[in-house]
């Protein structure tokens, strides 16, 4: 029986970026590199809202289980 072989990884076949590509990447091509976002909203408020929402859903499941079982 022959085992399938894993494909070769393309780790050492990189190409250098042109100066135009670097300039485009640093000036709007990458969301986090440009810094055009509010850090407080992105890393604090949104995860907190998700956590509160999931906690509420957990409480609803507890209530549902109490009523059904």
The domain ranges of the chain are: 37-69
Q: What does the pLDDT look like over 7-49, one tens digit per residue?
A: 888 888 888 999 999 888 888 777 887 777 888 888 899 999 9
Does pLDDT of 67 surpass 90?
A: yes
Which pLDDT does position 63 carry in this prediction? 97
Distance separating alpha carbons of residues 69 and 59, to the nearest angstrom: 15
To the question of pTM greater than 0.75 for the whole model, the response is: no
Which pLDDT does position 7 carry in this prediction? 87
Which pLDDT does position 27 carry in this prediction? 85
Burial category of 67 from C-beta neighbours within 10 Å (exposed 0-12, middle 13-18, buried 19 and up): exposed
Which pLDDT does position 9 carry in this prediction? 84
């Amino acid at each position: 029986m022959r085992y399938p072989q894993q494909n070769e990884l393309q780790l050492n076949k990189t190409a250098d970026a042109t100066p135009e590509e670097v300039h485009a990447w640093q000036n709007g091509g990458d969301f986090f590199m440009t810094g055009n976002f509010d850090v407080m909203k992105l890393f604090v408020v949104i995860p907190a809202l998700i956590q509160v929402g999931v906690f509420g859903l957990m409480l609803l499941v507890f209530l549902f289980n109490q009523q059904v079982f």
